[in-house]
Each structure stands twice: as structure tokens, then as C-alpha cells.
Amino acid sequence: MGYSSLKTCLDDLEKNGHLIRIKEEVDPNLEMAAIHLRVHEMGGPALLFEKVKGCEFQCASNIFGTLERSKFMFRDTLQHMQKLIDIKHNPTKAFKNPFKYTDVSLTAFSALPKKNPLSKPVLFKETTIDKLPLIKHWPKDGGAFVTLPQVYSEDIDAPGIMNANLGMYRIQLNGNDYILNKEIGLHYQLHRGIGVHQSKANKKNQPLKVSIFVGGPPSHSLAAVMPLPEGLSEMTFAGALGKKRFAYTYIDGFCISTDADFVITGEVYPNENKAEGPFGDHLGYYSLKHDFPVMKVHKVYHRENAIWPFTVVGRPPQEDTSFGQLIHEITGNAIPLEIPGLKEVHAVDAAGVHPLLLAIGSERYTPYAQTKQPSELLTIANHVLGSGQLSLAKYLFITVDDSNKIKTHNESEFYQYILERINLQRDIHFYTNTSIDTLDYSGTGLNTGSKVVFAAYGEKVRSLQSAVSAGLSDLKTFSNAQLALPGILVLQGNKFSDYNFAKKEFENFNFEIKEKNIDLKGFPLIVVVDDSNFTSETLKNWLWVTFTRSNPSHDIYGINPKTEFKHFGCDNVIIDARIKPHHAPVLEKDPEIEKRVDRLFEKGGSLAGLK
């Protein structure tokens, strides 16, 4: 169904058992985030915080907390959007099956933004930043952040809503050197549309006008994170998904979403940056303090009885995982359709999304060849790593499955399939000194690191070992051998000191393996970690540790490694996934805060019924 506002959405969720009201007064400093995290971990409902300490506004969280609830909110429009995306990528489908797409025109009408008069609800009253819910999420955060913002900017060369960008970039409201009520931090990463807009404004030495919408119909929040096909506006998507045209107006030259609960307007001036962060982020670590654009606040508006939505990110899965799942529901095969030969691609949530991609492609170039080896797969890999946010990936494992039996979302099955087939002397391909995710601190600097492609095509070349052999328990360089998955060995190393010493460690390890004549043929992949028990305990732990704590060019070694004509090969791949001195700190909860929020879950508390 279509919602006219965030309140109508929350009322519908409550009516259908998807929301609980928290009546106790709760502190926005760490307490609200701790409650959210605990409820989300339980698979619990959306939350409405009725009494926020020091603030007149109510707050809501965990709205998108489960895929079931997300699909419930868009139960009347999901299929229509799937068809719309389908036609966008393949217009001939509408001609081949016209009756299937008869309702698309009605959906398309809702997509047209609608300009409203100035008397709409969001302009009920002006306020200031310090009166907003200043929610601090993790103990080492640099201040309070907006975590579900819709950041709106326009192209200075082609102004207007149809050429605008709507993105979800975190906003720091206070702390650090920001002048309270006058300045806020605007953090955005690589491959974001707002960056193009700011670059154009900078060239003309003009400030970029920015509007931050908070709240409004849930379709607006989803539109802000949606990786849309080129030429499809986020505002049109929001209208179509919400069955309600995106309503807007202009005040003082700023675009105002008249359905939002809050709107912050301001300007970003050329070359004016301030330190933003730290911030507990979705990889499970703090993103550290760096200079990002500072936004000079113009005005802050809110509607009557406005509700402030927020989320908390941390080590996945968190609420943003449901965003990704819902996007996959809507887009289906959109990305494979854009990349010839690609059948599936999966950004692995447990590994922090951007660090790890699993893909299935095709091999059609040389059907006459006697030897099966990656050819088209490498073309596809280059295309994947050059496509939008997929280009932020560090590790890409890609293979061919002519039987169509394996799926990228079944990570353990996928790894078994690819490790049985990969030729480790031939099929490892590095990209050095390139861009990676801004939030990933495993590289050599902000946004910089390396990538690697593991490509496999052909018949099985090895059997994977499903138990740790006896000889591995006597190793001196690394210890406590554990099995993560068949063919994947996890070893525990000493604390990482520097790369020169690490190189000697892996040379010693090679010597030990030869000296003791240990057979590692069944372990094509070996991972060295700080805690092998923790890493091997679950698949999620292994994915998180291995791919968030390693930089391919610096942290991949091998048994019997060889570099010939600048190509690396080995008998067994080794990934050093120990924490390095330059890595960001791991997110950890505050024990005192956890004790403090226990009261809500005990008898008589608003959340006592949750299990």
C-alpha cells in the first residue's frame, strides 16, 4: 500500500503487530542504539521511542529490520516495480507480452514528481540542530549522526528535480570542530552522484545547495540507497514504489520534500572541509576521522508531530542488510543483464558487502579449445570491477557452472565448487594501487588498496580435505589449526608487527611444510588469523575476518610461490587476515550501557515480551 507519511507507515506496522512503543524515557547517548541493536539481533519489531531524553521529538528505528517487514510495507507495489525495472532493461518485453505489463503505466504515473505549494506539513515550524534527536551510536563515535538521511543535490549545469541526485550519506550533526547549529559534516564515498555535482559547482567557484530530508514515506529512504539504472531518477523511483508522487517545493533556492518529517538545508563551499568521524560503520569497525565537506546550515524545518527515523550499523547483519535484500528482490537480474555473460553476482553481506564478490559467468569464447581455462570470465571480471559500486570490491571469486546447480548466495557450496577447480598457478589476477571502499581500512590509505580475481573454469582438479591432518598440530610458525570449510584451513599467528617480519614468517612456514613433508593438496586456501577458534566457529566469522582484514597485494602469500613475468602463482594460497597496526578499531558495546538498557527487557519493561 502507499503511505502518505512516516506516521501512516508506523501506524500500519503497529496495527499489524510489527511495531512496539517504548514508553520509558531513553537517552539518545548510546542507549537508543543499544536497544535497537539488541532488538534487531532478536529479529524483533520496529520501535517507536516516545520519550527521548532532552528532545521533544519521537524517534523510530528498525523499520526495515527484517526482509519480511520490508516486503510487507511495499506489498502492493513490489511486483509493479520489478516489472518497471524489467522493461527499463529490456523494452521489447512489453511488446512480446503486453497484458503482463498493462499496470506499468499506472505505476509510471506515480513516478512523476509533483510540485506543491508552500503550505505543506514539513514547513510547520523551524528549529535548530541542537533541538534534533542527537543520537550517538557507538562509544568512540565523534558525535551524533543522521543514519537514514536522504541527501538531495542538483546538477548546477542542468538544474531541476529530474536531474537531481538523492543519496544516503551519513551526516554528523555535532562534535569535532563543527560550530553547533551552523555547521554539519557531509560524508560521501566514491561513485556517488553528489560528488559529480560538487565537482561541477567547485569548477564554477559556487557553493552547492544541499537539502537533507529525514523521514517521510519509507519509499523515500529506500530510493536513496537504490542502485538505479542510469537515467532513472531516485525521486521517480520513490513515487512509483510508494504509489504516491514525490512532492516538493523550493524555498530560498533549496528543494524541500514536502512529505519529509524534517528538512535541513545548507550549502557546501569549494575546498571547505572539516574532520568528520569516527563513526561505527557497517564493516564492523570504526571509520576514522578524515576531512570531508562541511555543510553550512541554512534552515531546519519539521512537520507537526514529526518523527525522527534512525538505524544503527555495525558488524553485519544489521538493518541495512534488509535494504540489500529488498533491493535484490526488486532488481532481480538487473546487473547480469547489464554485463554480457554474467549470470549471478553476490556482494557478501557477512564480509561487509564491498570487500567480497562471488560471481557466476559464462565461457563462450573458445568452445573448440581442448583445455578449459578462464577467458570470457576474465572479461566479465573486468566489467564487474568497472561497474559502479561493484568496483569497490577487493576480492572477486568467479566461476562457470554449466549445470546451473550452484548459487552465489550459498557461500559454502560456492567455495567448495571453485576451490575444487581453480588452477592456482594460472588463475590469480591482481590489480594493485587502485580504489577500494572508503570504509575499508585494510588498504594503504583512504580509498586506496588492491583487488584480486580468482577465476576457475573446468573439471575438478583436486579433492578438498574435510579434517585437519595430524602433522599440522606440530607447526611452530603458526598454530591451532582449524577447519573453516572443506579445503579452507585456518591457522593462528602471533600478533602482526610489520610486513618485513610477516614476509619472514611465511618463508619460515614454507620451510616447515617442506621439512616435515606435510601434504596440503586438500587445502588450496589457508588463512592466518589472530584467533583461529573464533574465525572457524561459523561461516560468518570466517567471511568477516578473512575479507575485512586483508589487502590482496600485501596480504596474499603462497606455498611454493612463484612470480613469472609479473604473474603470481602458488600451490596453496595464504591470506594473512590478522589485524594490522593501521586497521580501524573493532566495534565493541559498552557494558555499562548494556546493563542500563536491561530494564526495558525485564518484567514490566516495554520490551519484556521479546525473546
- Alpha carbons 421 and 452: distance in angstroms, whole number: 17
DSSP H helical ranges for 539-607:
539-548, 552-555, 591-601
Neighbours of 546 (CB within 10 A): 25
Average pLDDT of span 546-575: 97
331: confidence class by pLDDT, cuts 50, 70, 90 = confident
Residue 294: inside a domain, yes or no?
yes
Asked if 526 and 410 sit in the same domain, the reply is no
Nearest to 299 by CA among 247, 235, 248, 255: 255
- Alpha carbons 520 and 513: distance in angstroms, whole number: 9
Asked if 451 and 495 sit in the same domain, the reply is no
In one-letter notation, the amino acid at residue 535 is T
Count of domains forming the chain: 3
Q: Dihedral through CA 523, CA 528, CA 533, CA 534, nearest 10?
A: -120
Number of H helices, E strands in the chain: 18, 30
- Among 58-67, 100-109, 316-325, 415-424, which stretch is predicted with the lowest mean pLDDT? 100-109
Asked if 306 and 330 sit in the same domain, the reply is no
**Residue 390 phi, psi dihedral angles, 5° rounding:** -65, -25
- Cell for 365? 569464447
Residue 465: inside a domain, yes or no?
no
Residue 98: inside a domain, yes or no?
yes
Residue 605: inside a domain, yes or no?
no
Asked if 147 and 162 sit in the same domain, the reply is yes
- Alpha carbons 305 and 409: distance in angstroms, whole number: 42
Residue 591: inside a domain, yes or no?
no
Helix, strand or coil, per DSSP, at residue 320: helix
Which CATH number covers residue 181?
Answer: 2.30.110.10
Asked if 98 and 43 sit in the same domain, the reply is yes
Asked if 300 and 355 sit in the same domain, the reply is no
Residue 8 CB partners (closer than 8 Å, separation 6+): none
pLDDT at 109 exceeding the cut of 80: no
DSSP structure class, residue 422: -
Q: Dihedral through CA 134, CA 137, CA 139, CA 143, nearest 10?
A: -40
pLDDT tens readout for residues 359-411: 999 998 777 777 788 999 999 999 999 988 889 899 999 999 988 899 999 99
Say how many residues make up the chain.
611
Residue 450 CB partners (closer than 8 Å, separation 6+): 394, 430, 431, 432, 433, 434, 436, 443, 551, 552, 553, 554
- pLDDT score for 95: 38
Higher pLDDT, 94 or 152: 152
Residue 584: inside a domain, yes or no?
no
Asked if 170 and 214 sit in the same domain, the reply is yes
- Alpha carbons 188 and 115: distance in angstroms, whole number: 28
Asked if 147 and 52 sit in the same domain, the reply is yes
Contact 273, 300 (CB under 8 A): no
- Alpha carbons 312 and 49: distance in angstroms, whole number: 15
- pLDDT score for 481: 96
Nearest to 498 by CA among 552, 578, 441, 558: 578
- pLDDT score for 555: 98
Average pLDDT of span 260-268: 97
- pLDDT score for 229: 61
DSSP structure class, residue 571: S
Q: Which of 424, 456, 488 is the last residue of a domain?
A: 456
100: confidence class by pLDDT, cuts 50, 70, 90 = very low
- pLDDT score for 108: 63
- pLDDT score for 1: 63
pLDDT at 533 exceeding the cut of 80: yes
Nearest to 381 by CA among 366, 368, 371, 393: 393
90: confidence class by pLDDT, cuts 50, 70, 90 = low
- Alpha carbons 360 and 296: distance in angstroms, whole number: 46
Q: Which of 414, 431, 456 is the last residue of a domain?
A: 456
- pLDDT score for 118: 64
Average pLDDT of span 507-512: 96
pLDDT tens readout for residues 269-307: 998 999 999 999 999 999 999 999 999 999 999 999 999
Residue 604: inside a domain, yes or no?
no
Q: Which of 257, 284, 314 is the last residue of a domain?
A: 314
- Cell for 575? 591470506
- pLDDT score for 565: 95
* Ramachandran quadrant class, 313 (left: phi over 0; alpha: psi -120 to 50; beta: rest): beta
Which CATH number covers residue 390?
Answer: 3.40.1670.10
Asked if 47 and 136 sit in the same domain, the reply is yes
Show the beta-strand stretches assigned E in 189-251: 208-214, 247-251
Asked if 82 and 214 sit in the same domain, the reply is yes
pLDDT tens readout for residues 46-63: 999 999 999 999 999 999
Contact 301, 122 (CB under 8 A): yes
- pLDDT score for 447: 85
The parent domain of residue 433 ranges over 320-456
Contact 571, 424 (CB under 8 A): yes
pLDDT at 550 exceeding the cut of 60: yes
pLDDT tens readout for residues 177-226: 999 999 999 998 655 678 889 999 999 999 999 999 999 999 999 999 98
Q: Concatenated DSSP letters for 51-76?
A: EETT-SSEEEE-TT-SHHHHHHHTTT
Asked if 296 and 373 sit in the same domain, the reply is no
DSSP structure class, residue 445: B
Residue 611: inside a domain, yes or no?
no
pLDDT at 158 exceeding the cut of 80: yes
- pLDDT score for 60: 98
pLDDT tens readout for residues 586-603: 999 999 999 999 999 999
Asked if 303 and 326 sit in the same domain, the reply is no
pLDDT at 122 exceeding the cut of 90: no
116: confidence class by pLDDT, cuts 50, 70, 90 = confident
- Among 325-334, 355-364, 404-413, which stretch is predicted with the lowest mean pLDDT? 325-334
pLDDT at 227 exceeding the cut of 50: yes
pLDDT at 26 exceeding the cut of 90: yes
Contact 456, 487 (CB under 8 A): no
Q: Which helix (H) or strand (E) holds 379?
A: helix 376-384
Percentage of the chain modeled with pLDDT above 90: 76
Which CATH number covers residue 505?
Answer: 3.40.1670
What's the Rg (C-alpha) of the chain? 25
pLDDT at 150 exceeding the cut of 80: yes
Residue carrying C-alpha cell 559534516? 185
Residue 532 CB partners (closer than 8 Å, separation 6+): 479, 480, 481, 482, 490, 491, 492
Q: What does pLDDT average to over the chain? A: 91
- pLDDT score for 102: 43
Contact 220, 243 (CB under 8 A): no
- pLDDT score for 96: 42
452: confidence class by pLDDT, cuts 50, 70, 90 = very high
Average pLDDT of span 519-538: 97
- Alpha carbons 296 and 275: distance in angstroms, whole number: 14
- pLDDT score for 337: 65
- Cell for 361? 559467468
- Alpha carbons 342 and 378: distance in angstroms, whole number: 11
418: confidence class by pLDDT, cuts 50, 70, 90 = very high
DSSP structure class, residue 473: G
Neighbours of 41 (CB within 10 A): 10
